[in-house]
Structure 1
Amino acid sequence: MQQAPIPTIEPSNPNVLRWDDIGLTLIHEFITKGEEAAMIEAFHARDPAKEGKRRISQHFGHHFDYTTFGASETHFTPVPPYITDFLPRLPIQSHLPDQFTVQYYPAGSGIPPHVDTHSMFAEALYSLSFGSAVAMQFRMSGPNDARKMRLPKRSAQNEKNHTESPAATINNNANAPGDDAIPTPDEGQQLRSWELVLPARSLLLMTGPARYGYTHAIRPRKTDVIDGQTVPREGRYSITMRSVRRRDEIGCDCAYPGVCDARIREEMALLAASRGEDDASLQE
């Protein structure tokens, strides 16, 4: 694991940290402690019977569709005020998110490395962390990730059960490592990777390389090292926020074709045409 790159601190607001060459922005104390407490209360009021040691997911706006990795056309839940109230404070106001996945993670749980779907959602990807700090791993995707993206996808139900940020996951084949496994770098290749601590009440914005070319993950463990101190993890909540692409907007021309779902579909279609097959058969 490499040392995290040094951010640029915004002179007018020391809570804003930027890694412009990567496309990351982290805003400390984006919400207040009072807002955080209200969010947690509202979250559990909606699913009181599910409290405990299991992961809980809630969807607002057009629900994420775990079969297409896009947004559902038929399942919609109104966005609650505890989300709409902070939308005017998001850094990019020109394309506000309209699809929200709220998740609770028991202490010690992790998420597998993944790149969120390119074609179905616009560039800006937000993640609001509250309840507990956590270290998130960023790793430049490589040939091994591209290979795994082209393997048959695991069942939609399995994706739903383990994915924090519904996505085109890297470990997406039936024989892949367990949900919390972090793959080693490709043989003979030193992929750039580091961990970034996401404090409680912080907002992470991913654009550019961080959005399209890096995997992000959380290692399953009971503690994190924060400012040189070993800190026990507690229950953590996150809100992943995306802008849905519709009709002619769907697609992607990013610089990372290896992990781009739009390019992979194009490859599969060309391969099917060359073989005189239905391209859907290549994903079975």
Structure 2
Amino acid sequence: MQAPPPIPTVDIADPSILRWDSIGLMLIRDFISEEQEATMIHAFHARDPAKEGKKRVSQHFGYHFDYSTFGASESTFTPLPSYISDILPRLPIQHYLPDQFTIQYYPPGSGIPPHVDTHSMFAEALYSLSFGSTVSMTFRMAGPNDARKMRLPKRSAQDMETAAASSASSTPPGEEDKPEEVVHPSWELVLPPRSLLLMTGPSRYGYTHAIRPRKTDIIDGQAVPRQGRYSITMRSSRRGDEIGCDCAYPGVCDARIRDEMAARAADSR
């Protein structure tokens, strides 16, 4: 079910900033200029010209995202291009800065399955810089079904996306006779080109976010065709004793799930 989006608060000092303080969400419109946007798009395709086309393409800078741990690699590092390093001093949270950057190209019509980003391996602030096409991102408070999917075996990157895309069919043994759960209503937030989204608090830890795969989005009552979209996801990695999480959403917290699985394994011995 889709719900009307909550009403944001407009920053008095800067009307380009919208806040949803109750869930820790912030959107900054026109965070980068059109010239910066053009530079980023050109640099992306110059680096991987053979991969242009209809497929989703990823590039990594800083410590590369590790799809086996859902954290950041400790050994694979690519220096930041200036178009990324130049924007870091302008990020809203400065007491720690991202060191893991994933740039993705989404061809028209593609989407992202509903998911909650890893809690334990990255610090709280999660940034997404959108450029290219406008797109609507769907938010929904995570529920028991999301918690069940996170407990499926072998959560590789491919398994996670498959499980998220086919949520209703991924029913673990013993769950078949349980009554159908009430799914929290979702709402859509329009991400304009050149905007920066910041997720903290509940929106970071307790809400799923997704982009529905479709050719158009309804914006202000009008059907707007999607074009190619790019995003830069920016995260701050945790290392050693920093790894962990004590958030208020244990059902979808990888740290709590890992402890739970370990306890069950110990009890079964």
Q: 2:217·2:226 contact (CA, 8 Å) conserved in 1?
A: yes
Matches within 5 A, 1:125-274: 125-156=126-157, 158=158, 170=164, 176=170, 187-274=180-267
Q: Distance in 2 between matches of 1:30 and 1:115?
A: 24
Pairwise CA distance, 1:189: 1.4
Counterpart for residue 55 of structure 2: 54
The secondary structure found in structure 2 opposite 1:230 is strand
Q: Read off the aligned partner of 1:258 and give its amino acid letter.
A: G
Q: Distance in 2 between matches of 1:266 and 1:172?
A: 26
**4+ runs of 1 displaced by more than 3 Å?**
169-173
Q: 1:63·1:72 contact (CA, 8 Å) conserved in 2?
A: yes
Q: 1:117·1:261 contact (CA, 8 Å) conserved in 2?
A: yes
Q: Distance in 2 between matches of 1:172 and 1:91?
A: 36
Query: CA offsets per residue over residues 159-212 of structure 1, 9 Å max, x none?
Result: 69x69xxxxx74599x749xxxxxxxx934140320000000000000000000
Query: CA offsets per residue over residues 100-140 of structure 1, 9 Å max, x none?
Result: 00000000101100000000000000000000110000010
Q: 1:246 to 1:154 in 2, by over 3 A?
A: closer
Counterpart for residue 114 of structure 1: 115
Q: Distance in 2 between matches of 1:176 and 1:187?
A: 13
Q: 2:60·2:101 contact (CA, 8 Å) conserved in 1?
A: yes
CA RMSD of aligned residues (A): 1.9
Q: 2:27·2:198 contact (CA, 8 Å) conserved in 1?
A: yes
Aligned residues between the structures: 260
Q: 1:135·1:198 contact (CA, 8 Å) conserved in 2?
A: yes
Q: Distance in 1 between matches of 2:74 and 2:243?
A: 14
The secondary structure found in structure 2 opposite 1:210 is helix
Q: Distance in 1 between matches of 2:42 and 2:261?
A: 46
Greater Cα shift, 236-245 or 68-77: 68-77
Counterpart for residue 174 of structure 2: none
The secondary structure found in structure 2 opposite 1:21 is helix
Q: Distance in 2 between matches of 1:132 and 1:219?
A: 14
Q: 1:30·1:203 contact (CA, 8 Å) conserved in 2?
A: yes
In the superposition, the TM-score normalised over structure 2's length comes to 0.92
- Same amino acid, percent of matched pairs: 73
Q: Distance in 1 between matches of 2:37 and 2:142?
A: 33
In the superposition, the TM-score normalised over structure 1's length comes to 0.87
Q: 2:18·2:28 contact (CA, 8 Å) conserved in 1?
A: yes
Q: Distance in 2 between matches of 1:159 and 1:47?
A: 26
The secondary structure found in structure 1 opposite 2:53 is coil
Q: Distance in 2 between matches of 1:155 and 1:140?
A: 23
Q: 1:31·1:201 contact (CA, 8 Å) conserved in 2?
A: yes
Counterpart for residue 33 of structure 1: 34
Gaps of 5+ in 1: 164-168, 178-185, 277-284
Query: CA offsets per residue over residues 227-284 of structure 1, 9 Å max, x none?
Result: 22110000000000000001010000000000000000100111111112xxxxxxxx
Q: Distance in 1 between matches of 2:200 and 2:230?
A: 22
Query: CA offsets per residue over residues 140-167 of structure 1, 9 Å max, x none?
Result: 00111111111113544x269x69xxxx
Q: Distance in 1 between matches of 2:87 and 2:56?
A: 24
Gaps of 5+ in 2: 172-178
Q: Read off the aligned partner of 1:51 and give its amino acid letter.
A: E
